[in-house]
Amino acid sequence: MQAMGGRPNVFPYLLLVPALFITLAIVAWPLLETVRLSFTDASLKPTEEFIGLANYEKIFSRRFPEVIGRTFYWMAISVTLKMVVGVMGAMLLNSAVPGRGLMRVLVMPPWIVPIAIGVFMWRWMYNGQFGMISGVAQYLGILAGPYEFLGDRTGAFYSTVVTDVWVGTPMVTIYLLAAMQSISPDLHEAAWVDGASRWYRFRRITLPLIMPAVATMGLLSAIWTFNSFDIIWILTEGGPRGSTTTMIIDTYKTAISRNRYGEGAARAVMIVIFLSSFAAFYFYMLSRMAKRSLSNDK
């Protein structure tokens, strides 16, 4: 509002004070403090000393590289599944059949209820003796006997992935549905007049046009999945035998459960480095899309 300002003024900055204050205190300062702590031997003892890169040498000499690999694998599977299920879900909900309004409403609950409570329900479902999945699978003859989904390494790993997909899918679906609905019906009609089949139109019109949305959502989803804590913590606390220990879980265990703040901070810094590269890529992609849409408008 140039007209309202005139002289260079501090008023807009004053408007930012409350938001900046909270964000600096709770996010920005802790971020810098994490970096500082990662170079110290901070723990429960009252003093801390600067120890250089010792924490980093220590974590990389142990099983941490394995944890990084597992985190990326976990994230890759989960995000891919969310995208595949999300595209299929959005396609189904985008079809012109009676009752689709109600069905769209029914998609959101996993996203809006407290994550922890949704995961409590999953924890019961994974119960081998009395849970629904094992029970129904035995009834259908898929499983010969009770199977404790969270009991062995492979089962626990994929079970946490499935629950993470469950929490993330509604957002992906609704977002992609919005992208599909913004496609001009003229395009479909023109292709339809030319005799293009529904599958052909999906492949040649819908899919290319929602690709930017898929890419955006995929990256955002990757960032959220990388930060995911509640789901794994409630289902397995990183077990059995470390099979679901992602970087976040590892950091939390080191820092909060074992009070090794310095070592935990070094792990957190590694997470921040990975997250920053995702974020940088995300912003790069957005600016490229913005440019392209500008040049299209001309």
Partner 1 sequence: MINKYRWWEIVGIYLGIAVFLLFILAPFLEAFLVSLRPLNRINSIPYKIITDGMSFEAYFTMWKNVPRLPLYIWNSFFIATCVTIIVLIAVVPAAWAFARFEFKGRDSILAAFLAINMVGGAVLIIPLFQLMRDLGLLNTYMAMIVPGAAFLIPTAIWLLRSYLMKIPRELEEAAWVDGASRPYILWKVILPIAMPGIVVVAIATFIGAYAQQFLFALTFNSNSDLHPLPVGIYQFFGRQTVVWNEVMAASLVGILPVLIIYIFLQRYIIAGLTAGAVKE
Q: For residues 184-203, which are near partner 1 according to CB under 8 A? A: 188-189, 192, 198
Q: How far is the CB of 244 from partner 1 (least distance, A)?
A: 15
Q: Please state, as a whole number, how many other Cβ atoms lie within 10 Å of the Cβ of residue 195.
A: 7
CA 292 to CA 287: how far, in whole Å? 9
Q: Tell whether omega for the bond before 8 is within 30 degrees of 0, i.e. cis.
A: no
Q: Please state, as a whole number, how many other Cβ atoms lie within 10 Å of the Cβ of residue 191.
A: 16
CA 265 to CA 11: how far, in whole Å? 38
Among 121, 187, 207, 215, binds partner 1 (CB under 8 A): 121
Q: How far is the CB of 287 from partner 1 (least distance, A)?
A: 10
- 183 or 279: whose CB is closer to partner 1? 279
Q: How far is the CB of 271 from partner 1 (least distance, A)?
A: 5
Rama region for 98: left / alpha / beta (φ>0; ψ in -120 to 50; rest): beta
- Amino acid code (one letter) for 86: G
Footprint of partner 1 on 256-285 (CB under 8 A): 256, 261, 264-265, 268, 271-272, 275-276, 278-279, 282-283
Among 153, 227, 241, 288, binds partner 1 (CB under 8 A): 227
- Binding part of the chain for partner 1, among 50-58, 67-75, 149-157, 225-233 by CB under 8 A, reads 225-233
CA angle 287, 292, 296 (to 5 degrees): 150
Contact call for residue 84 and partner 1 (CB under 8 A): no
Among 159, 168, 175, 243, binds partner 1 (CB under 8 A): 175
